[in-house]
Amino acid sequence: MKNYSISLISRKSLSTICAVALGFFTSMCAAQDSVLRDIENSVIKIYTTQAAPDYFTPWRLLTPRQSSGSGSVIAGNQILTNAHVVANASYVQAQKHNDPQRYLARVTFVSHEADLAIITVDDPSFFSDLQPLSIGLLPEPLQEVSVYGYPIGGKSLSITKGILSRVEQQIYAHAGAFLLAGQIDAAINPGNSGGPVIVDNQIVGVVMQASSGGRAENLGYFVPPSIIQHVLKDSTDGVNDGFPDLGFRTQALDSPAAKTAYGLKEGQNGVLVIKVFENSPAAGIFQENDVILSIDDFDIAEDGTIRLSEDLLTDYKHSIDMHHMGEEILVRYSRDGVENSVSLQAEKAQDNYSLVKGEQFDKIPQYYIYGGVLFVPLNMNLIKRWGNDWSRSAPVSLLQMRNEWSTPDRKEVVVALQVLAADVNLGYHDWRNWVVDSVNGSPIKNFKQFTDMLEENSEENVVFENKNGYQMVINHHRAMESESDILKQYRIPAAHSQEFINED
């Protein structure tokens, strides 16, 4: 009887324990399911109608196209997504998970450089049942991540898993910036753009692009937390300051002979200064052939990398990127073997370090028509108008300009893009994509000065000339006289863009 009682008690205890454990497990599963539902509900599908300018005929827009992307709800009734999802958008809508209604949305902040944007929906009911997601920390290498979004091929939310395989500086495809990025092996397709990369129920990245060129499969890139946080802080005043630039350019210094030539001692490493731009924080402080040894607490290796953690190396530029405007950046450098330190103030990057400006968005192209000749400033928008294979199909003369630094005397390239055939320009009807270096013997500084010279011209003829001596001569009186007829004949609304004058 005694043994029976003990057995009975043991069975009752075991049943109780099992019941408690089952209840706890069920409760945990229910809580986890609730968290997952909250994440799913906070992933938004974004619809846009985009109408980009046609840089071949800059008074027109390209045919509007509809596209979609993804985003995630964050604090402050904001939706975080990619800049390229809403670039040149004239109409934006947001749609919640498992909700057929589309809500009118508007863009509140864009960082094309970081390929990030913030949109919102003014209808207060949109966010009433949504939980904002927080920004987490960069995952460790080989950690599993989940990618949420609305890729093409279906209407419902898609969730894929992958492994974080690499973190380093990458060229962001949208605007060509060189910033820190994470690489994962999860499948990323059109429509995924802007969706969150999730670890431990937090955003650890924003999907931005897939590997291109067909050289790799199932490789994608995301904007990491440090870049996201930088943009979110930058957005608080509504003004996009971007990432700072100290105004110098460098090359790796991994040649033993070069190290000796520039005075480095045994065990010293750094990068060689090859260019210092005027009116920059570095102007008057650094000189060409100085060696940058460290920035803040980051020692620079001979290949130009810094160590962010035991397992993470990246380009030293990242140590500058993480600063905001006005902050002090400590730089240690060597000149002729003598080591020095200096604090530079982080300033907004100039937009004309190169003669060819980077790709711009949400802006009206500049152009000026004179004597039936269409003149435009050279930029990456124009070069990319030659298609996805622009690096091969665009004119070589224009591509070569990307390798030239701007100077105080020449900040921009002017191109005679095409000739609108008319009597005033007989003899030049087949001229196109022609770089103009001077007007009536005066060198061209930028597009503003170029248009000023034409507006203020008092000579009988205007002579456009390139560096090889080729000339195009247009009679000024006939150019003015024929302007309205040429515009009417080619159905062009105005002889120049409203914003054709650049600031000095």
Of 24-28, 50-54, 210-214, 227-231, the least confident = 24-28
CATH number at residue 440: 3.20.190.20
Q: Is 71 helix (H, G, I), strand (E, B) or coil?
A: strand
For 298-312, what is the mean pLDDT? 94
Q: Which of 115, 234, 245, 290 is catalytic?
A: 115
pLDDT of residue 402: 93
Is the pLDDT assigned to residue 25 strictly greater than 80?
Answer: no
Q: Is residue 23 part of a domain?
A: no
456 shares a domain with 420: yes
Q: SS3 breakdown of the chain: % helix, strand, coil, rounded to 5? A: 25, 35, 40
pLDDT of residue 216: 47
257 shares a domain with 227: no
Distance from C-alpha of 64 to C-alpha of 86, rounded to nearest angstrom: 13
195 shares a domain with 271: no
Say if CB 293 and CB 299 are below 8 A apart: yes
Domain boundary residue, one of 76, 96, 126: 126
253 shares a domain with 282: yes
Is the pLDDT assigned to residue 55 strictly greater than 90?
Answer: yes
178 shares a domain with 121: no
pLDDT of residue 5: 47
For 170-186, what is the mean pLDDT? 93
Is the pLDDT assigned to residue 408 strictly greater than 50?
Answer: yes
324 is catalytic: no
Q: Is residue 170 part of a domain?
A: yes
Q: Say which DSSP state 131 is in.
A: P
Say if CB 151 and CB 158 are below 8 A apart: yes
Domain boundary residue, one of 126, 153, 187: 126
For 178-196, what is the mean pLDDT? 90
373 shares a domain with 485: yes
Distance from C-alpha of 341 to C-alpha of 294, rounded to nearest angstrom: 9
Is the pLDDT assigned to residue 27 strictly greater than 70?
Answer: no
Domain count, the chain: 4
pLDDT of residue 17: 61
Is the pLDDT assigned to residue 153 strictly greater than 90?
Answer: no
The label of the residue with tokens 């100077």 reads 407
Distances from the Cα of 315 to the Cα of 251, 252, 270, 302, 308, angstroms = 11, 11, 12, 11, 10
306 shares a domain with 387: no
Q: Which of 70, 193, 226, 334 is catalytic?
A: 193
87 shares a domain with 47: yes
169 shares a domain with 229: yes
319 is catalytic: no
Say if CB 500 and CB 367 are below 8 A apart: yes
478 shares a domain with 398: yes
Share of the chain above pLDDT 90, in %: 83
For 489-495, what is the mean pLDDT? 97
Q: Is residue 21 part of a domain?
A: no
Range of the domain at 87: 43-126
Is the pLDDT assigned to residue 289 strictly greater than 60?
Answer: yes
Distance from C-alpha of 176 to C-alpha of 495, rounded to nearest angstrom: 31
pLDDT of residue 19: 58
Split at pLDDT 50, 70, 90, the class of 35 is confident
pLDDT of residue 504: 41
Q: Which of 84, 174, 230, 318 is catalytic?
A: 84
Q: Is residue 90 part of a domain?
A: yes
Say if CB 272 and CB 250 are below 8 A apart: yes
Split at pLDDT 50, 70, 90, the class of 209 is confident
Q: Is residue 451 part of a domain?
A: yes
For 15-38, what is the mean pLDDT? 62
The token pair at 489 is: 């004949």
Q: Is residue 352 part of a domain?
A: no
| SS3 sequence of 379-405 | EHHHHHHHCCCHHHHCCHHHHHHHHCE
Distance from C-alpha of 429 to C-alpha of 427, rounded to nearest angstrom: 6
Of 148-162, 171-185, 277-291, 358-372, the least confident = 148-162
Split at pLDDT 50, 70, 90, the class of 498 is confident
Q: Is residue 496 part of a domain?
A: no
pTM: 0.88
Residue 226, number of CB atoms within 10 A of its CB: 18
pLDDT of residue 335: 96
Higher pLDDT, 187 or 24: 187
CATH number at residue 112: 2.40.10.10
258 shares a domain with 230: no
84 is catalytic: yes
Distance from C-alpha of 244 to C-alpha of 487, rounded to nearest angstrom: 43
481 shares a domain with 378: yes
Please give the mean pLDDT across all residues of the chain.
91
Q: Is residue 504 part of a domain?
A: no
Those residues with Cβ within 8 angstroms of residue 315's Cβ, 6 or more apart along the chain or in another chain: 168, 169, 178, 304, 305, 306
Split at pLDDT 50, 70, 90, the class of 28 is low
Greatest extent of the chain over all pairs of C-alpha atoms, in Å: 126
Of 101-105, 131-135, 151-155, 331-335, the least confident = 151-155
Distance from C-alpha of 477 to C-alpha of 103, rounded to nearest angstrom: 55
Contacts 24+ apart (CB under 8 A), 139-143: 139/164, 139/182, 139/199, 139/204, 140/164, 140/311, 141/165, 141/166, 141/167, 141/311, 141/312, 143/199
Q: How many residues would you count in the chain?
A: 504
Distance from C-alpha of 284 to C-alpha of 31, rounded to nearest angstrom: 60
